[in-house]
Amino acid sequence: MQLPVMPPVSPMLAKAVPEIPQGEFLYEPKWDGFRSIVFRDGDEVEIGSRNERPMTRYFPELVEAVKANLPERCVIDGELVVVVGDRLEFEVLQQRIHPAVSRITMLSETTPARFVAFDLLALGDQDCTELPFAERRAMLDHALAGARPPVHLTPATRDRSLALEWFDQFEGAGLDGVVAKPLAGAYQPDKRVMFKIKHARTADCVVAGYRTYKGDEEAIGSLLLGLYTDDGALASVGVVGAFPAARRRELFAELQPLVTTFDDHPWAWAAPPEGVRTPRSSEFSRWNNGKDLSFTPLRPELVVEVRYEHMEGLRFRHTAQFNRWRPDREARSCTYAQLEEPVRYDLADILGL
């Protein structure tokens, strides 16, 4: 492979801002998938990840799609996504990363991925990274004019009012918000020169356990959060952490009166009710190389308000952020009914299918 921009390349990044900025920007939907840079030189294709590791072997169906849809020699930044029904499903995408070739082959057929392109780093013998983004985007539009699924060109607009509509509407299709890209900007690998605007909500959750901080058995590392289902089961929705160092030790002492055993705890060693995910449903995480996920159980009495972006099934998509304690709330009142559900939106309308 001989290209003007060679792998590995760290993708250009975005910093979070509270609202969609005004000015000389191009606005795009924020895709919820694996950030990837695709390198093609004839029949040679490499798919790089955000951490610069090759992803090619996990997505054989996209290698063929790249050869059929991308220019003969190019480097294109984008996102790998998996569509289930009419929305993106990140959890299904995660399952595509598997060591067994037989399973990779099976998943490439049952849950095929798509590549959504949104920036151009090289075309032919030209290194495009120093060009203004407005020029790179125009070149990308032309280069992918004939592309067909599973390769897509992301929608984009200079109309901030339309971007605001996208922010509200597209979440129902599983998208993550909006990205604002300066039209005059060069491509700067691993630099946060774009802006991302993501959804943020609050939820009142039950604190059902804790894990201690690494290297300190008398400091809180994270609190395990739960919400009650319609049938009265306490489902695990995620964790909240990122406490200041001094607060971690204070919180450990404050929680000791609530420490209990698993005998009467809703997340006992016994198998959880069918369809309810709990931390004890698997002692080890498949995504953390055997990391021990055991925890100290607490009587489910404390309620904490946390900030979250959006849900992935029954759980928070990312680690929640602490907002405040809610001594005025009864733990049993913390149900899924409080969560805001985005309006469903057909992903086909976004991708132009």
Closest by CA to 80, choosing from 64, 62, 98, is 62
The answer to whether the beta carbons of residues 117 and 80 sit under 8 Å apart is: no
- H or E, element range at 63: helix 60-69
Our CA dihedral for 233, 239, 244, 245, rounded to 10 degrees, sits at 90
| Residue 23 region by backbone torsions, left for phi larger than 0, else alpha for psi between -120 and 50, else beta | left
140 close to 93: Cβ distance less than 8 angstroms:
no
* The Cα angle at residue 199 between residues 198 and 203, in degrees rounded to 5: 140
30 is catalytic: yes
- Find out whether 225 and 239 touch, Cβ atoms under 8 Å: yes
Cis upstream peptide for 11 (omega within 30°) = no
**Contact predicate 216/251, CB 8 Å:** no
- Choosing from 15, 30, 181, 214, the catalytic residue is 30
Q: Count CA atoms within 13 Å of residue 329 on its CB side.
A: 20
CB 80 within 8 A of CB 47: yes
Q: How far, CA to CA in Å, does 310 sit from each of 31, 84, 128, 336?
A: 13, 17, 35, 13
Report the SS3 class of residue 298: strand
* Both tokens assigned to 102: 């037989």
CA 225 to centroid of chain Cα atoms: 19
81, 149, 165, 243, 307 from 116: Cα distances, Å = 8, 9, 20, 36, 29
Instruction: Give the residue among 276, 248, 23 at the shortest CA–CA distance from 158.
Output: 23
Catalytic residues: 30
